[in-house]
């Protein structure tokens, strides 16, 4: 055997995906030609959304589940991308045949949000008005705007009412907003590791990340596309900051502690400013990787959508009043070591929902992995979601 | 009265300083011509330390207290700088006549550490070998190196044994290191809001800050002095990150919440990426101010000294064994909302000291201000320090 000959990648994919994967998937783009009015008063004239679907929509279109993504994810929720066998969906452990969100029973929709950088219309796209990338001229969008765009997608797909809208973190905020904006179109709202609004500290971390991007000379005020550069340093720093907030201190201590990079714990220090500790190497790697695929304007846009999300703003800060229109049933889950959106934040939502008389389940899961726990395969967490979706399946009759 | 005529600044100083200030102070520089060997194996051939002193050294030189500074502070601990009446010492609420560290009884020494940027020899200084600023060639220094340099200063001042060595945060690490390196030269060690070593998360935050500085094109690998530029953007981001970790989430919620900058809480959002929230404005201001006075190479150097501090490294991770040489008495204090160096970290030290049979007092103070609490005038905190120093005064007979 020629050692330089690549092993067919399908082999690795098969090994990496648990039994029950949706397999190779191909995204589709949906074009919307009617302008979308935005919360800011601005609008986008026409736009595309990149979408993946898994499973089959049933005859009465009652088994559809929308998965909303958080900051850096996309429509590619499950399975393996047709054009890159290493590109496995970000929630593949959650969505698939026999998985907690079972694609043998549900028709699952993953959508890349407006303003993101994975195929949907965003700052990288060419503006029809100028023939050049939108760049800094792409409008600020909000969680509510995303939900409006997703509702149009639902219309196109023939889905009048979602069996469930589900997401973690910022994705959970979209699910929550669905329950307020379109109460009649969502039967169940599943919001994991989420919050009713950002805290001052949350906004502060976002602002530092944005400052890092904006102050990168390659940012050019957001119009870097034409210059053939990318504000890579800024993105790197932004991602490193974000990454620290996704992990718990305990988790970092467990994973890295004070281990030296590539050397014994008791080796002599090297006394330099290059990588000395394992955790530095890890962070640099995460930052580098991210800066190669993520768009800086999208980072600004999505963190700003996070900052602005505050459904109780229209009701004088009263979350109970804000949730009054909701008719869905709710599942919320939070993780004990999540210090970005700690359980207290989910409990605020739970308590407001109880006060409005809504049907709400809440799981507080003792998991060591911080905010990132919502992406990981914790058996107790997955058991909760599975049980909840089993009930939905029964309701829907699938 | 001519409104453009400045009010004498002395008026403001008098109003700002509580009764009991040490008043106007003038720093002195001490030159050391014998090379100082460093932990890294490198050395500095000759160096200066910038120093302030308050109070009078008594006849038997037994009433001297050394105050060690943390990341961004200096020798200017108390009083008002002679050349800038607005420049009040960073621990002026703690040190002065009638204050917890009472300069009517103690001779207090503030020293700017080697490698810092407030008058002591550091990366900004001219290297005698090249006739140009050290820049990137300034050696990495450690907490232990600083203590060795401070010990030489003590020799020069005629202080054989400190009544106390005291510091907060990184300053507390220096006090702790004194008790191990020079047990016979320190009677009391006072370490506030400190830790026996950084956690992985602590190192991670430092590394992001350093990455922001290093990737600023004006950094020029640390040799920016000759170029007439300063890596201001990088410093700004570094400071913003640091600042978030100095405050507690509760404190930020209390101080800023989701308040909009200069507008009513329920005003319309402006939907842009400029300052929208009060907390953004605050962070930008802190970052800007810092980037005007702090040296970027010093930021790297001091955060690295923090990373490297780990006295138990030489004893296979056994802090009890590391503290065995210590003979001082100890006061430790920590603040409940400090998530940079939370009380658990101080308790690690306390427990190790108890295991070595040392005399140790420990106060855990329920204060809302996070890590920064050590700089603030919390009555319970100051009462603890005052009582401790009253005992020292009695021991010393002052």
Which pair of structure tokens corresponds to residue A125? Answer: 């796209």
Q: Cβ distance B59 to B82 under 8 Å?
A: no
Average pLDDT (A366-388) is 97
Strands (DSSP E) contained in B236-359 are 329-335
Query: Does the active-site annotation cover B169?
Result: yes
CA dihedral B116→A238→A174→A104, nearest 10 degrees, is -130
Answer whether residue B18 shows pLDDT above 70: no
For chain A, the 3-state helix, strand and coil shares in percent, each to the nearest 5, are: 40, 15, 40
Q: Cβ distance B375 to B345 under 8 Å?
A: no
Residue holding tokens 């559809």?
A64
State the angle between helix axes of B143-157 and B296-308 in degrees (0 to 180), rounded to the nearest 10.
Answer: 100
Among residues B363, B354, B364, the alpha carbon closest in space to that of B323 is found at B354
Residues with Cβ < 8 Å from A388, sequence gap 6 or more? A188, A190, A331, A361
Q: Cβ distance B221 to B136 under 8 Å?
A: yes
pLDDT-derived band of residue A15, with 50, 70 and 90 as boundaries? Answer: very low
pLDDT-derived band of residue A12, with 50, 70 and 90 as boundaries? Answer: very low
Residue holding tokens 């020799």?
B155
Q: What does the pLDDT read at residue B17?
A: 54
Among residues A296, A338, A257, the alpha carbon closest in space to that of B204 is found at A257
Task: Kindly determine whether residue B140 and residue A257, on different chains, have CB atoms separated by under 8 Å.
Answer: no
Task: Give the best residue of A201, A249, A313 to mutate against chain B (max B CB count within 10 A).
Answer: A201
Q: Cβ distance A132 to A55 under 8 Å?
A: no
Give dist(CA B391, CA A34) in Å, integer.
78
Q: Cβ distance B279 to A204 under 8 Å?
A: yes
Q: What is the pLDDT of residues B142-153, one digit of tens each?
A: 999 999 999 999
Give dist(CA A283, CA B207) in Å, integer.
8
Q: Find the CB nearest A200 among B212, B273, B279.
A: B279
Identify all chain B residues contacting A205, using CB atoms and an 8 Å cutoff. Answer: 244
Q: What is the pLDDT of residues A163-198, one digit of tens each?
A: 999 999 999 999 999 999 999 999 999 999 999 999
Q: What does the pLDDT read at residue B82?
A: 87
Please tell me which residue in B21, B74, B120, B169 is annotated as part of the active site: B169
Radius of gyration of the CA atoms of chain B, in A? 21
Residues with Cβ < 8 Å from A354, sequence gap 6 or more? A360
Identify all chain B residues contacting A214, using CB atoms and an 8 Å cutoff. Answer: 273
Give dist(CA A64, CA A75) in Å, integer.
15
Task: Kindly determine whether residue B258 and residue A197, on different chains, have CB atoms separated by under 8 Å.
Answer: yes
Q: Which helix (H) or strand (E) holds B233?
A: helix B232-246
Q: What is the pLDDT of residues B221-244, one digit of tens each?
A: 999 999 999 999 999 999 999 999
Give dist(CA A87, CA A110) in Å, integer.
15
User: What Å distances lie between residue A23 and A65, A76, A226, CA to CA?
Assistant: 18, 12, 37
Q: What does the pLDDT read at residue A9?
A: 44
Q: Find the CB nearest B212 among A207, A212, A276.
A: A212
Question: What sign does the dihedral A263-A264-A270-A274 (CA atoms) show?
Answer: positive
Task: Give the best residue of B135, B204, B314 to mutate against chain A (max A CB count within 10 A).
Answer: B204
Please name the residue of chain A whose CA is at the shortest distance from the CA of residue B210. A273
Identify all chain A residues contacting B41, using CB atoms and an 8 Å cutoff. Answer: 271
| Distant-in-sequence contacts of B321-325, Cβ < 8 A, 24+ apart | B322/B180, B322/B352, B323/B179, B323/B180, B323/B349, B323/B352, B323/B353, B323/B356, B323/B358, B324/B356, B325/B179, B325/B180, B325/B183
Q: What does the pLDDT read at residue B7?
A: 41
Task: Kindly determine whether residue A205 and residue B244, on different chains, have CB atoms separated by under 8 Å.
Answer: yes
Identify all chain A residues contacting B197, using CB atoms and an 8 Å cutoff. Answer: 258
Q: Cβ distance B210 to B238 under 8 Å?
A: yes
Among residues A313, A309, A311, A318, the alpha carbon closest in space to that of A356 is found at A318
ipTM over 0.85: yes
Which pair of structure tokens corresponds to residue B281? Answer: 């404005």
Average pLDDT (A126-147) is 96
Answer whether residue A10 shows pLDDT above 90: no
Q: What does the pLDDT read at residue A154?
A: 98
Percent share of chain A, pLDDT over 90: 92
Task: Kindly determine whether residue A240 and residue B42, on different chains, have CB atoms separated by under 8 Å.
Answer: no
Identify all chain A residues contacting B280, using CB atoms and an 8 Å cutoff. Answer: 203-204, 207
Q: What does the pLDDT read at residue A18?
A: 58
CA dihedral A145→A151→A155→A156, nearest 10 degrees, is 60
Q: What does the pLDDT read at residue A338?
A: 98
Answer whether residue B304 shows pLDDT above 60: yes
Question: What sign does the dihedral A209-A287-B200-A74 (CA atoms) show?
Answer: positive
Can you give the length of chain A in residues? 398
Give dist(CA A257, CA A372) in Å, integer.
18
Instruction: Return the SS3 of A295.
Output: coil
Give dist(CA A336, CA A368) in Å, integer.
7
User: What Å distances lie between residue B189 and B177, B323, B330, B388, CA to CA?
Assistant: 9, 12, 5, 11
Query: Does the active-site annotation cover B69?
Result: no
Give dist(CA A68, CA A65) in Å, integer.
10
**Taking the CB of residue A87, how many other CB atoms lie within 10 A of it?**
15
Identify all chain B residues contacting A231, using CB atoms and an 8 Å cutoff. Answer: none
Task: Kindly determine whether residue A257 and residue B210, on different chains, have CB atoms separated by under 8 Å.
Answer: no
pLDDT-derived band of residue A201, with 50, 70 and 90 as boundaries? Answer: very high
First to last CA, chain A: 49
Q: What does the pLDDT read at residue A16?
A: 52
Q: What is the pLDDT of residues A202-213, one digit of tens each?
A: 999 999 999 999
Which pair of structure tokens corresponds to residue B240? Answer: 């913003």
The C-alpha of A52 sits at a distance from chain B's nearest C-alpha, in angstroms, of 30
Among residues B377, B261, B397, the alpha carbon closest in space to that of B17 is found at B377
Q: Which helix (H) or strand (E) holds A30?
A: strand A28-32
The C-alpha of B171 sits at a distance from chain A's nearest C-alpha, in angstroms, of 21
Which pair of structure tokens corresponds to residue A254? Answer: 């467990």
CB pairs under 8 A between A and B: 153
Task: Kindly determine whether residue A215 and residue B237, on different chains, have CB atoms separated by under 8 Å.
Answer: yes
Give dist(CA A334, CA A382) in Å, integer.
12
Identify all chain A residues contacting B140, using CB atoms and an 8 Å cutoff. Answer: 271-273
Percent share of chain A, pLDDT over 70: 95
* Cα Dmax for chain B: 71
Q: What is the pLDDT of residues B160-181, one digit of tens each?
A: 999 999 999 999 999 999 999 9
Q: What is the pLDDT of residues B346-382, one digit of tens each?
A: 999 999 999 999 999 999 999 999 999 999 999 999 9
Which pair of structure tokens corresponds to residue B89? Answer: 């010492």
Q: Cβ distance A200 to B257 under 8 Å?
A: yes
DSSP A203-257: HHHHHHHHHHHHTSGGGGGG--TTTT---HHHHHHHHHHHHHHHS-HHHHHHHTT
Q: What is the pLDDT of residues B189-220, one digit of tens each?
A: 999 999 999 999 999 999 999 999 999 999 99
Q: What does the pLDDT read at residue B1?
A: 32
Question: What sign does the dihedral A142-A148-A151-A153 (CA atoms) show?
Answer: negative
Among residues A275, A272, A212, A257, the alpha carbon closest in space to that of A238 is found at A212
Higher pLDDT, B2 or B280: B280
Which residues of A participate in catalysis according to the annotation? Answer: 169, 338, 371
Please tell me which residue in B69, B76, B369, B371 is annotated as part of the active site: B371
The C-alpha of A8 sits at a distance from chain B's nearest C-alpha, in angstroms, of 38
Residues with Cβ < 8 Å from A131, sequence gap 6 or more? none
* DSSP class of A126: B
Give dist(CA A385, CA A374) in Å, integer.
11
Q: Which H, E and C letters describe B329-389, residue by residue?
A: EEEEEEECCCCCCCHHHHHHHHHHHHHCCCCEEEEEECCCCHHHHHHCCCHHHHHHHHHHH
Tell me the backbone φ, ψ of residue B182, rounded to 5 degrees: -135, 60
Q: What is the pLDDT of residues A217-268, one digit of tens each?
A: 999 999 999 999 999 999 999 999 999 999 999 999 999 999 999 999 889 9
Answer whether residue B6 shows pLDDT above 70: no
The C-alpha of A140 sits at a distance from chain B's nearest C-alpha, in angstroms, of 6
CA A365 to chain centre: 20
| Distant-in-sequence contacts of B88-93, Cβ < 8 A, 24+ apart | B88/B13, B88/B16, B88/B17, B89/B22, B89/B25, B89/B52, B90/B375, B91/B67, B91/B168, B91/B375, B92/B17, B92/B18, B92/B21, B92/B22, B93/B18, B93/B375, B93/B376, B93/B377, B93/B382
Higher pLDDT, A16 or A61: A61
pLDDT-derived band of residue A83, with 50, 70 and 90 as boundaries? Answer: confident
């Amino acid at each position: 055997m020629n050692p330089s000959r690549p092993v067919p990648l399908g082999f690795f994919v098969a090994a990496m995906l648990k039994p029950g994967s949706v397999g190779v998937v191909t995204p589709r783009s949906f074009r919307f030609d009617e302008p979308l009015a935005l919360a800011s008063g601005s609008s986008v004239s026409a736009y595309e959304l990149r979408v993946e679907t898994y499973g089959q929509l049933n005859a009465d279109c009652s088994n559809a589940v929308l998965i909303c993504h958080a900051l850096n994810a996309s429509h590619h929720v499950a399975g393996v991308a047709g054009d890159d066998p290493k590109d496995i969906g970000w929630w593949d452990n959650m969505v698939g045949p026999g998985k907690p969100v079972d694609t043998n029973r549900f028709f699952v929709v993953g959508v890349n949000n407006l303003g993101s950088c994975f195929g949907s219309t965003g700052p990288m796209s060419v503006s029809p008005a100028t023939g050049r990338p939108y760049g800094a001229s792409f409008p600020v969008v909000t969680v509510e705007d995303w939900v409006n765009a997703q509702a149009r997608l639902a219309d196109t797909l023939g889905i009048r009412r979602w069996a469930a809208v589900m997401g973690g973190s910022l994705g959970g905020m979209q699910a929550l907003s669905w329950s307020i904006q379109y109460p009649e179109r969502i039967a169940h709202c599943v919001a994991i590791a989420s919050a009713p609004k950002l805290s001052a500290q949350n906004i502060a971390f976002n602002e530092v990340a944005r400052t890092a991007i904006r102050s990168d000379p390659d940012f050019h005020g957001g119009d870097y596309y034409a210059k053939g550069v990318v504000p890579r340093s800024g993105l790197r720093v932004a991602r490193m900051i974000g990454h620290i907030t996704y992990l718990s201190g305990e988790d970092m201590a467990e994973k890295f502690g004070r281990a030296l990079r590539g050397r014994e714990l008791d080796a002599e220090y090297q006394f330099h400013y290059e990588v000395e500790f394992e955790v530095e190497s890890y962070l640099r790697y995460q930052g580098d990787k991210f800066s190669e695929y993520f768009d800086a304007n999208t980072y600004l846009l999505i963190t700003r959508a996070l900052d602005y999300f505050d459904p109780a703003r229209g009701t004088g800060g009263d979350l109970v009043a804000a949730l009054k229109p909701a008719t869905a049933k709710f599942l919320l889950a939070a993780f004990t070591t999540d210090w970005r959106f700690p359980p207290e934040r989910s409990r605020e939502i739970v308590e407001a929902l109880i006060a409005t008389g809504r049907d709400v389940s809440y799981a507080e899961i003792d998991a060591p992995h911080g905010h990132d726990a919502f992406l990981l395969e914790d058996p107790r967490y997955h058991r909760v979601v599975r049980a909840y979706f089993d009930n939905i399946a029964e309701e829907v009759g699938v």
